[in-house]
Structure 1
Amino acid sequence: MTEFIKTEDWKPLSKHSSHINGDLLVGMDKGSEAKVTRYNKTGKELQNIQSDDKGQELYGILHYITENMNGDICTSNISRSVVVVNKSGQHRFSYTGQKLVFHPYGICTDVVGHILVCDGVSQQRVEFPRSVCVDCENNLCLEQLTTNILTVYKYLQ
């Protein structure tokens, strides 16, 4: 095993390998602080994203992280929000849900740029969804925490 990246006192919580350029995106926290760091293929730190252009913290504890086809970085956070920044690290938008209880967990994007998020609250016979992905054949795969069930749906025909 080769040590690739040292994160010092930051705890890595989520990661994503960019399909665009092979960079590694790592969501980390340190106490009450959180950030996303971009590393290149050799482990060189390229970018830290922690706050918006007004100095406001962007993230709570990061659950999952992904990147869309435009290079936007999309995260789900324990603070019950989805945060999207562009590839330069500028805040694009945050989403906190349209109902009182929103627990975003797994997050992914599809080939047309939609952001798909698991809401951790059980709904419509899906118990505690935790992770989601869209495969190369446009199947949506959804993993449920308590049932150990992986459900595959036909998506984007």
Structure 2
Amino acid sequence: MFAEVQISKTRDEKVPRLVEPLVTNIISSGLSSVHHVCCVDSETAWYSGNAPRLKLLDKKSKELKVVKTPDQHGVSGMSMSISRELIFCSSTNKSVYKVKGETIEQICSTGDFKPYGIHCCRNGDILVSVCNNQRAKIDRFGSDGSKMEEIEITQNGRRLFKYPSFLTQNSNGDICVSDLNRIVVTTNSGSFRYNYHGGKSKSFRPRGICCNIKLSHIIVADDINNIIHVVNENGTRLGVLDTSGQGILGQLRLPSSLSLDDNDNIWVGEMFSGLTKVLKYLELHYV
């Protein structure tokens, strides 16, 4: 099922390989749905759903903190900054915010565009997927909220995106965006690289997306097939993570959001169950 992961190695060295996924933990968020999950470390994560609040929970589903959102509006995207601060956006308020202690600070406004996804880059930049009735693009902001760049048009003058939502950045700087029935991948500067349409899958509806920067894996939730795609940096599908054989609770049901913890486990938030399932998908093997 899985392609070989190619990385540099030395003799008798253990290297990670894709294996059949194992659900190692199930977390009840206390929300009716998990729209977004964002790992802080290997033990805790932030959650958002339909309710106008953010929740910090540990792996035992214990509530550690609850923060109300500005004006009681919902969250359309969230990401962890390099300094471990939660950054999120609201499509209703058309703004990007930061959780700082017990308070929320506005970082910037997205103007006439509604934000539908956000990612904090390792250099401190913030990428935001935004749309209005005429245009769809990725805006790059500095950590101080200053707008730095718009990614919208290909070198041939075509629009890159239709309805961008979740997004992330790979180890090579590529920007990877869930966009209706495809993943759009551009360089860090916004030049088009390729589209991923699900590989061998007959249907494909990408949702949450994250990258394992150690291996350059692009990891994508496919909520129409209830699986997770693992793709290399050049768009080749390495395999799919399917937990349908792990009983009723172990099966993925409408996976909507993804986050990778410090141990390279994938946290999968489900759209309507309120559950998050932690998947182990790599094992070390001697070469």
Q: TM-score, normalised by structure 2?
A: 0.52
Higher relative CO (Cα under 8 Å, sequence separation at least 6) belongs to: 2
Q: Do structure 1's residue 65 and structure 2's residue 161 form an aligned pair?
A: no
Report the Cα offset of residue 122 of structure 1: 4.1
Matches within 5 A, 1:11-22: 11-18=114-121, 20-22=122-124
Structure 2: gaps of 5 or more residues: 1-103, 227-243, 245-250
Give the structure 2 partner of residue 88 of structure 1: 189
- TM-superposition CA deviations, 1:6-59 (whole Å, max 9, x none): 2221111111111x2011000000114210011111111111100110011111
The 1:21–1:107 alpha-carbon spacing in structure 2 relative to 1, beyond 3 Å, is: same
TM superposition outliers: structure 1 runs of 4+ over 4 Å: none
CA contact under 8 A between 1:76 and 1:83: conserved in structure 2?
yes
The size of the alignment, in residue pairs, is 155
Secondary structure of 1:4's partner? Answer: strand
Alignment of 1:103-142 (within 5 A): 103-110=205-212, 111-123=214-226, 124=244, 125-142=251-268
Cα distance change, pair 122–94 in 1 and its aligned pair in 2 (3 A): closer
DSSP 3-state at the match of 1:48: strand
What is the Cα-based RMSD across aligned positions, in Å?
1.4
**Structure 1 unmatched runs, 5+:** none
Matched, 1:6 2:109: yes
Q: 2:157 aligns with which of 35, 38, 55?
A: 55
| TM-score of the superposed pair, with normalisation by structure 1 | 0.92
* Aligned-partner residue type, residue 196 of structure 2: Y
